[in-house]
Structure 1
């Protein structure tokens, strides 16, 4: 089994690779070895993959090939290597959460989500880097160090799923998992030029979430195309009644997971589109506003109407600040109290902030949050989708833990710059980031598409149509990183600040 010698299997998308495997035109072993080779060549420069099970990958790929050759039924992810964010257990591999407290923690069993991937034929083959406890949107920690942006090794890959995004962009894996509270799937996708999808709450179950009844954080897929993300989502979006927001009746959910892997075409010409570059409150950088305006000018003729408007986001910063810090307080106060020297700045800030709020503060914010969500539902009575930038800034030096200023104006907190993402987090609406050209700094720009709550299929289909248009555009198409340059680059671990930042 083989493909054209001019094509490196590591550069194949997941859907294409899976199709070639089924047709016996690509061996799972060939794909696995290509991913291993790419990791060996470029990961030292990027530091996206932080723990590997290469023996397990090789063994599983040989078994996958045997199943193909014997004519056995093949799962949706059959033979595809998958990177797993280091917030989730993979048996036999470290799960550190990016925390020094857990630097020696080895998972005794697979998380339920990993079990589902294996059942579909996927091969979880290593862990991808994230900041400590996924706190913040720069992927740096004191266990594994920083993850660089493959498009410019001096710049951040964002986060918190920055390792997954960087691994995808540089061809180390065809699929990767991530999670998202304040944009942790969408921000790194934007910075690295890949796709990150935050589903409606409950679509991807998370029974292991420490604050399962708080509808803010969720897992989701990352990939190099919308179709590939949909393929992974079709396995992640399974019935699981351990998640209180995953409605399971008669063993089934309200959505058909297999539909995410077979996206229908979508006519864009009837759609009413709202566009915003700041939701009325986010501190968006001028370079981001300029590129977004250019992109919208080119894309606007595709739609029935395009209007500069947005939902009422009154109180978004306050709501997100209080709810986020209370979540961190509940989960991490013991770590700060018992082992303060092993807790990083972002987690420390969140716990201390949580302690500054009273029960009355929290009660008022819960009411504000309800009002906020209702405003978004009213807004979507007259709009089909929102288009917006994914992130407020162009990628910056990874030594900068977070931006303290944007266009000369100070930010309010280490997460204030994530306002373009947490606007839809707070409302519970599905949101995807797709590559949309390079900004004036020559860095990838992510276009964010937000849809009606629970219209996950709609968001994916519109994203896929826009992806096709952008790919054919002379000004918006995005080329991948320079792999040859990554092969030649010095190891990131030799850079000052590699382990101390964060």
Structure 2
């Protein structure tokens, strides 16, 4: 028996629509009704595209009636992060500067989702210009995790994570330049994958090379590993306007059913250098045994990253500050003055983080590349012996809005990014996912599963094995 539309997976909906058990209009109507009833709870959506979605659903139903070829996601609702363009829909990027901006065309991966038959039902919330590990802005306000809306959903794809966990949509891709797919996946109890750099094209303008420092990419978020793999199959592949895009290597969906008994997995909850709450450690210690029960070999081992967590974070900030400042300065070409009269329209956090930050000197910037190289070499040494590395995604669970943690287990941390373990893989461009692994006090904990470049299929296979042994589909709040 097919599940109700808002409880079904994307794969299940696609099958049900092809088999005639649901029509695209039924699915979209049910989705829009659930968004209408529940979005106020978490503030996951910034914009809901009722009219466009219903029109697309009618076209999808007509295609079925006329016997046209159907794409793999035909009639399946999808939400798009409000950093990415959907033709005819506003893209605010969480900024008052873009509050009324309407996109003229689709972002490349959005076009691929549409070509596969997916139906866009709205845009999900993000911090201003995606700069943040929590989701809040002056256009739409904060987004909370469905497990406790008074607590953060993570960032910067926090709207996507919340929309999935509250069953508002079955698919909601995001973007990740420092953990922005994986952090919301952890805090919302869903699955998120940052693929190998270049697998999903990331066309950036006016600087087409902006996504390399630190590496940033688009990636799938979903409630199941299969759904994430399906959307990755659709989004992946080269693009002539992304200099870092790479050819697709097989079908990612095939990895979902692959056995993992030949995988050697290194387990290090803190990567040897990050503070992790003891309760989070306990959840991970319990969850990691699922890989052994699935036949994989698991060894507890710490990688030698060559630096402590503060040095790695400093290198990340050095690179990111240059990139973020360049982003804001590009606004002047659009008629804005972020350093002058438009400064007060920017979120104070962004002003403090970027505009008031000291711009790194060239020698400091290049020294950060040496730290980045050391991290790459340390992970390369580990992946010469092991297929995958399993860690915590975040060192803590979701915290109340506006109360970023100042310490973990007695160790002082940088409050905005000192509690995440995601940035090393944005320095290296390697694939890394966050999979639900359990709960602390009713709040979700994410397990980060990382691999060498182009081992996305191994990451997906291990994630699916975890899901089979410790299913999380029925853990979401009603």
Shorter-chain TM-score category?
over 0.9
1:155 aligns with 2:151: yes
Q: Which residue of 2 aligns with 1:16?
A: 12
Q: Which residue of 2 aligns with 1:495?
A: none
1:246 aligns with 2:245: yes
Aligned ranges 1:397-408 → 2 under 5 Å: 397-400=400-403, 402-408=404-410
Cα shift readout 1:108-166 (whole Å, capped 9, x = no counterpart):
22222222211111111210001111111111111001111111121111111010111
Aligned ranges 1:100-499 → 2 under 5 Å: 100-208=96-204, 210=207, 211-247=210-246, 253-256=247-250, 259-263=251-255, 265-297=257-289, 299-313=291-305, 314=307, 315-333=311-329, 336-338=338-340, 339-352=342-355, 355-400=358-403, 402-418=404-420, 420-439=421-440, 441-471=441-471, 477=472, 479-483=474-478
Q: Distance in 2 between matches of 1:309 and 1:86?
A: 39
Matched residue of 1:140: which SS?
coil
Q: Distance in 1 between matches of 2:99 and 2:437?
A: 37
Q: Which residue of 2 aligns with 1:489?
A: none
Q: Distance in 2 between matches of 1:310 and 1:240?
A: 37
Shift of 1:299: 4.2
Shift of 1:409: 3.3
Matched residue of 1:167: which SS?
helix
Shift of 1:268: 2.3
TM-score between both structures, scaled by the size of structure 1: 0.88
Q: Distance in 1 between matches of 2:353 and 2:272?
A: 25
Shift of 1:15: 0.4
- The answer to whether the 8 A contact 2:220-2:232 is kept is yes
Shift of 1:106: 1.5
Cα shift readout 1:45-67 (whole Å, capped 9, x = no counterpart):
11101101111111111111121
TM-score between both structures, scaled by the size of structure 2: 0.92
Shift of 1:276: 1.1
Shift of 1:306: 2.1
- The answer to whether the 8 A contact 2:28-2:54 is kept is yes
Shift of 1:482: 2.9
Matched residue of 1:306: which SS?
strand
Matched residue of 2:436: which SS?
strand
- The answer to whether the 8 A contact 1:274-1:387 is kept is yes
Q: Distance in 2 between matches of 1:304 and 1:177?
A: 29
Unaligned runs of 5+ in 2: none
* Pairs aligned (count): 464
- The answer to whether the 8 A contact 1:332-1:347 is kept is no
Q: Distance in 2 between matches of 1:264 and 1:144?
A: 36
When structure 1 is superposed on structure 2, of 424-433 and 332-341 the one drifting more is 332-341
Q: Distance in 2 between matches of 1:196 and 1:224?
A: 9
Shift of 1:303: 4.4
Unaligned runs of 5+ in 1: 248-252, 472-476, 484-502
- The answer to whether the 8 A contact 2:260-2:461 is kept is no
- The answer to whether the 8 A contact 1:98-1:130 is kept is yes
**CA 1:404–1:86: 2 relative to 1, 3 Å:** same
Shift of 1:297: 4.3
Q: Distance in 2 between matches of 1:480 and 1:156?
A: 18
